[in-house]
Amino acid sequence: MIGLPSRAFVTGTLLFLGCVWLLLFIRLLPLSRGVTGWPGPDLAVPLILAWVLRRPDQLAAPVIVLALLVEDLLLMRPLGLWTAIVLLGSEAARLREPRWRDQPFMVEWLRVGILIGVMMLAYRFVQVLFLLPVAALGQVILQYLATVAAYPAVVFGARWLIGLRRPPRRDAV
């Protein structure tokens, strides 16, 4: 029989959805004066990767898909393309989480930076392949750098504001 999900799973899932959609709401606010300047980071991606690397038991793949499909709809991106790429990247990180667990934070940051770069490169490749409109390369590179630079702040904020920490390691008997 299938058991009910645990309270920690439901709480973590709802907290994750609330955080991602709060970031989306802030992103949609009309705060600029119409002048396009430096692109800001896509904070949803570092939050997803930080959550998957810290509490992979609380974040299921359908939850990531739900959060990012809503983002695709509201930001008018190609429906499901960025969602599929982020899902593949987050599942790759989830598979490697036990090996990355004991590494220093700088190594994790480097690996996450490389993963985000590969995800953005794949997104751009598919856009070019299917003749979709693509953003200027300089803007994409600046957004990549801002997203990777924001990862430590996202991890710090998730740890101190939400309490997102790695569970204690169980010793093998």
| Chain position carrying tokens 């299938």 | 2
d(CA 138, CA 144): 10
Token pair of 10 as six digits: 């439901």
Give me Rg for the CA atoms of the chain: 17
Would you write out the chain's pLDDT as a tens digit for each of its 173 residues? Answer: 567 778 888 888 999 999 999 999 998 888 777 666 788 899 999 999 999 999 888 899 999 999 999 999 999 999 999 999 999 999 999 998 888 888 899 999 999 999 999 999 999 999 999 999 999 999 999 999 999 999 999 999 999 988 888 777 664 44
DSSP assignments along 46-94, one per residue: HHHHHHHHH-GGG--HHHHHHHHHHHHHHHTPPTTHHHHHHHHHHHHHH
Two tokens at 11? 């709480």
Task: Please tell me the predicted confidence (pLDDT) of residue 85.
Answer: 97
Q: Three-state DSSP class for 135?
A: coil
pLDDT for the residue numbered 88? 97
Residue 118, C-beta contacts closer than 8 angstroms, at least 6 positions apart? 89
Among residues 127, 115, 22, which one has the least CA distance to residue 67? 22
